[in-house]
């Protein structure tokens, strides 16, 4: 078997070589966006770990783990999160419906990431509050009816392929990216 040829590529910008930045080149923002994640019944630890990494990368204020959601500590969560479960503020709450109702009373817009007959396309979403709680549901069952009924809006990512859904960690990353684009830097607290 022939070994693949390794090709090195260097881009020149204004007479300087660019270099890939490493962890030492990064400094974390001190502020967080007023966006929290509510993971309901996410049973696969790898998906929970990925959600922690997403929350850290995008500077979310908090994660809520509810129902049957896998909870740290755990080897698979730690590995997938690259230990961000140690820096992301999170809380376990058993009853997701009760939690969503409390967050709604606190002025959060409750946004369900679920394809329904009333859901709107994620990319067209315009927040109605300066605080948002994004609900992501079970890998197999999605978001339960009671939580959907409590939501202020339901959003979906259009699927153009054969399947009607994607991995929960993947859609969480896409949704968080789209929602944080609607915030201004001044909104980070």
Of all residues in the chain, what percent carry a pLDDT higher than 90? 77
Take residue 124 and report the two structure tokens written for it. Answer: 């067209």
Phi, psi of 63 (to 5 degrees): -120, 140
Residue listed under structure tokens 């390794």: 6
pLDDT in tens, 68-120: 999 999 999 999 999 999 999 999 999 999 999 999 999 999 999 999 999 99
Report pTM. Answer: 0.87
pLDDT score of 24: 82
Q: What is the distance in angstroms between the CA of the first residue and the CA of the last residue of the chain?
A: 56
Contact 133, 103 (CB under 8 A): yes
Mean pLDDT of 137-160: 96
Q: Taking the CB of residue 86, how many other CB atoms lie within 10 A of it?
A: 12
Strands 153-156 and 90-93: unpaired
Residues in contact with 127: Cβ distance below 8 Å, sequence separation at least 6, in sequence order: 109, 179, 182
Q: Where does 30-187 sit in CATH, by number?
A: 3.40.1280.10
pLDDT at 57 over 70: yes
> What residue segments make up the domains of the chain, in order of their start?
30-187
Calculate the average pLDDT of the chain: 91
pLDDT at 2 over 60: no
Q: How confident is the model at residue 66 (pLDDT cuts 50, 70, 90)?
A: very high
pLDDT score of 5: 58
Mean pLDDT of 173-177: 98
């Amino acid at each position: 078997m022939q070994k693949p040829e390794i090709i090195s590529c260097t881009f020149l910008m204004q007479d300087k070589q660019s270099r890939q930045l490493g962890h030492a080149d990064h400094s974390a923002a001190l502020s967080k966006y007023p966006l929290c994640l509510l993971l309901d019944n996410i049973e696969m630890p790898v998906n929970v770990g990925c959600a922690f990494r997403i929350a850290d990368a995008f500077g979310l204020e908090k994660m809520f783990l509810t129902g049957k959601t896998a909870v740290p500590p755990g080897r698979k969560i730690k590995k997938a999160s690259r230990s961000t479960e140690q820096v992301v503020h999170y809380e376990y709450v058993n009853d997701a419906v009760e939690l969503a109702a409390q967050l709604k009373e606190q002025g959060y817009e409750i946004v369900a990431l679920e394809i329904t007959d009333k859901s709107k396309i994620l990319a067209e979403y315009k927040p109605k509050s300066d605080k948002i709680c994004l609900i992501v549901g079970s890998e197999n069952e999605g978001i339960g009816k009671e939580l959907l009924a409590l939501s202020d809006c339901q959003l979906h990512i259009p699927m153009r392929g054969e399947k009607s859904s994607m991995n929960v960690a993947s859609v969480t990353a896409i949704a968080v990216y789209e929602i944080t684009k609607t915030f201004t830097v001044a909104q980070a607290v």
